[in-house]
Each structure stands twice: as structure tokens, then as C-alpha cells.
Structure 1
Amino acid sequence: RRFIAVSRRGKFLLLTLDNGATLVINPMLAGRIRYGAPLPRQRTRDALVLRLADGHELRYHDVKDMGKVYLTDDLSQIPTFAGQGPEATDPALTLEVFRQRLRPHRGEIKGVLTDQTFVAGIGNAYADEICWRAGLYPFRRRPSLSADEVARLYAAMRAVLEEAIATLRSRVGEAIDVEVRDFLAVHGKAGQPCPRCGTSISEVTRERRATHFCRTCQPGLMVARRATGTSCRTGC
């Protein structure tokens, strides 16, 4: 079989085959794809190995076994695929469309950004970056946002993602299994100074998901420290 196209939809990588089928990979949190010379043996947690005609191989490696791999001729049968919203970087997602799609949501800003039915492709790390760029507290409820704040959120989303794409294209090259995160402003940097004001970056953990923000640049009500596992570091 021959691959005739490679594309992306949200967090799904799509490799189209010449027989009409599509190999779909959703790497989730820890999945990595390696393209290169064959390795001498299969590694633990190698979920998929494709040997290519040019002598290279494509390996999907997942240390947490959270990712999903599908071979299908009907993408609508893949869970959550059909219900995705527009791509976050789609030019058709104008500010007005963004406002309209945002209006029905009542939850916290970060949760809305990572809801793939709202817009597709934003995960935990970039949601943190977008909220920081917009100067918005990630746990604020959507109805509390003013029209100007919604515009800031939209502008931040476009800028953060476009800059990240450009950075990754220039730095990653063919090392597609390498995760480059050092250019991020706040995510994963608890205790380090905020690039904008110097305040120590705060971290809140809920259900094993960490949120990073600056309590000076992103003012908001303090997060309740419930007995459900929420924890807070660095004075948040």
C-alpha cells in the first residue's frame, strides 16, 4: 500500500492510503511518532511499526498507552472525530464566529478552550499560554467575560498558535519525536518568573491536570482547595 496524503484534524493525524482507507493516530498526552532508520528491535511501548519502501520506518511509541490508532474507511466512526469544532487556526474562524460559538458555553475559560467541540486542536499547555497571553484568569467563567476580553482571548489564541507552529517548524525539523516546550511562557514553569511582570508562576492541579498562570497578570478569584485533589503551589 502507498500513502497518498498526510493531514491533521484537531488532535488527529491522518495518513490516507491509496485504497481509500485512512490510518488515524490520536497520540493523546504521551504518544510520539518517530520516522527514521530501522531500530534493531522493537521497544517497549511501541504500539505500531510501519516499514516503508525507502528503507525507513514509522514508529508510534506511547509510554502511557493512552493514544489511539485506527484504520478506517469511515472517519465518522472514530469516537469524537465527527463532533469536532473548527480548527483554531482556520481563517474562517473569525472573531464574530468565535463569539457566536463561545456564547453557549458557561464553564471556565480554560475548559472551554480545550473542549474539542468548541474549537479543535487546543490542549492543556496551549490553553495555559492563551489565557496568559490574553491576561485572563483560566478559571473564570465564560459569562463573566466582557466583549473586549473575548476579543483579547481570540487574538491570543491566534497569536499563540501561529507563533508555536512557526517555532516548531524551524526547530524540530525531521526529529518529529522530540517535544519542544522551552519556548512556552508559563506552562510547566511553576515557580519561575513571569516573562511579563516577574511574579512567580503559579500551578494548580485538578484531577492530575496542571494549570499554570500568573496571579498578577491574570487576576481572579482564588481557586477553592477542595478535598477532591485540587492542590496549589507558589502562592496561588
Structure 2
Amino acid sequence: MPELPEVEALALDLRGRLAGRAIEVVHVAAFSALKTFDPPVTALHGTLVDGVTRHGKYLDVEASGLHVVLHLARAGWVRWRGEVPALPPRPGGKSGLAVRIVLDDGSGLDVTEAGTKKGLAMYVVHDPQDVPGLATLGPDPLTDDFTPAVLSEILDREGRKQVKGVLRHQGTIAGIGNAYSDEILHAARMSPYKPASSLDEDDRVVLFRAIRETLGAAVDRSRGLAASQLKGEKKSNLAVHGRTGQACPVCGDTVREVSFADSSLQYCPICQTGGKPLADRRMSKLLK
């Protein structure tokens, strides 16, 4: 799932590619991806791209006062094409293509989604705040407004909720998903099950630094990379997420996993839980 660092880098890459370009036509190949009807997609035809920005995990392409807001969900991505095919894509094709944006010089963007679970969403709006999920986002963890005091207030408000879930909830803190919450908690040497309000003052300082440094480093590494390189860069620099059974790069212990119905988390017992493996009820049931 693209998270804050990848979407930030994607916005930067597209900002350079789309500067001064006009949108010639937008083809919607997966009608389930389009979540708005007014303004219509055809209102984008002939508009000039003014900029590309990010709101949490949302990508925002502004064109002549309209906004194309994309949420890439679990398996969505944006692919740059130096030249798009002359024929429009067929709706419902098997290529994974959801939307194609054709520019005035023949180049364009393919918005794709892999897999059978479809969650990718595109909104055409006058104001990004008209997008329901975007309007309820929590603070961005890389802005100056996100301070240790703000984080402390969040932790107190979330009470006994597990810190892993607090980091992932977009209405609480924007942009952090499953992968970077694992990475942040590993950097903070903190159990994902630790109750938010139980963190003492020192824990809160450590967590704040881990958030800023983990996300900041990922953004710095991604800056200047083309969209096609971002997924590989992310995967090659993860310490625990997606590395079940491999050695922790810090202590050498085996990275463990806890599985849920539709996701999983990874952690290092030595670094994060005092050497004790966390209970994984789903795996326990499978082993019986």
C-alpha cells in the first residue's frame, strides 16, 4: 500500500512531469473507481495542470481550478507513459487499468490497481475538502504543526488503544499505514500492542523522534526517484515489515509476524517486546 513517503515522492515526480501540460482527455476504464459525478470527468478536458500535491495518502492533481484526487488503496499505483496508445482503453479490461489521463503532448498517466479487491478511488472536485476521507484526516506527521505536544494529546485521547492502531488510523495521524507503523515502532523499540496512554514522557519523546526520522528518511531516499522506482526503494529499506523469518538488522533476532483477517504486522521480539513473542491467535488456530 502506498503510504506518505511514496505518495510524497510520487507527487514530486509528477509535479515536474505535468508542469505546463494540458489534460486532453480522461478515460475511465474501471467505473467503480470514479466516486463523483459533478463535476463530470469531461470537465477536465482542456484544463491546464497547475500543480500536484499530497494530503496524507491522497494524491491531488490540480487543473484549472478542478482537482483530481486519487486514493491508491492497497494495490493502486500511477504509471507515467511517455506515449499513450492512440486507442482508448476498453472498460473492464484485464490489464488492471482504472483511469488513463492523456496529456496534450501524447504522454500521460495510467492509474492502475492490481488484484481482485478493488479499493482505488478517484474524485473530481472543486475543493479537496469535498472528498469525505480527506476532510477527516488527522495532522500530517511531517509538518511543523505536528509537535511532541500534539502527539501527546493524541496518545492521551486514544486511551487504551494499541499504539500500532493509533499510528495507522488516518483520522488520527495522516499518511502512516501498515508498513511504516511497523518500521516506526521498531525504531522506537516499542511493542505494537502497547496502550497509547501508557507511554510515559520518555516513551513519547522516543516515539515522536521515530515518526519524524523514519518518515523523513524515507521521503529523503525517495526524493528524485521516478515513480517506477519507488516501490523497490521502499521494500529494500524496510527493517521488519514484510521480513518475517529474516534477521533483524539491529539485533539479529528473527523477525516475527502476527496475522489478522486481512493484514499482518511484523516486529522484532528482542528490540520491541523484551524477547517475548506476541500471541498470534490466527496462526495458533491453524497449527492445532
TM-score of the pair, normalised by structure 2: 0.74
Q: Are the counterparts in 2 of residues 201 and 215 from structure 1 also a CA contact under 8 Å?
A: yes
* Equivalent in the alignment of 2:126: 73
The aligned runs of 1:77-88 (5 Å cut-off) are 77-88=130-141
Q: Which runs of 5+ in 2 are unaligned?
A: 1-46
Q: Which runs of 5+ in 1 are unaligned?
A: none
Q: Which has the higher contact order (CA 8 A, sep 6+)?
A: 2
Distance 1:224 1:183, change over 3 A: closer
* Equivalent in the alignment of 1:231: 283
Match of 2:62 among 16, 33, 40: 16
Distance 1:159 1:146, change over 3 A: same
Higher helix share: 2
In the alignment, structure 1 residue 27 sits paired with structure 2 residue 72: yes
* Equivalent in the alignment of 1:59: 110
* Comparing 93-102 and 209-218, the one that deviates more: 93-102
CA distance in 1: counterparts of 2:229 and 2:249, whole angstroms = 28
The aligned runs of 1:1-236 (5 Å cut-off) are 1-18=47-64, 20-40=65-85, 42=89, 44-64=95-115, 65-106=118-159, 107-170=161-224, 172-175=225-228, 178-180=231-233, 181-219=235-273, 223-226=278-281, 230-231=282-283
Q: Are the counterparts in 2 of residues 34 and 177 from structure 1 also a CA contact under 8 Å?
A: no
* Equivalent in the alignment of 2:23: none
Residue 222 of structure 1: CA displacement?
5.2
Q: Are the counterparts in 2 of residues 33 and 176 from structure 1 also a CA contact under 8 Å?
A: no
Q: C-alpha deviations, 1:177-221, integer Å up to 9, x for none?
A: 744311111110011111111000001111221101000110167
Q: % of aligned pairs identical?
A: 31
> Aligned-pair RMSD on alpha carbons?
1.9
TM-score of the pair, normalised by structure 1: 0.89
Residue 66 of structure 1: CA displacement?
1.5
CA distance in 1: counterparts of 2:157 and 2:190, whole angstroms = 19
Q: Are the counterparts in 2 of residues 21 and 72 from structure 1 also a CA contact under 8 Å?
A: yes
* Comparing 67-76 and 119-128, the one that deviates more: 67-76
CA distance in 2: counterparts of 1:52 and 1:176, whole angstroms = 22
CA distance in 1: counterparts of 2:279 and 2:268, whole angstroms = 17
Query: In structure 1, what residue type is equivalent to 2:199?
Result: L
Residue 100 of structure 1: CA displacement?
1.4
Aligned length: 227
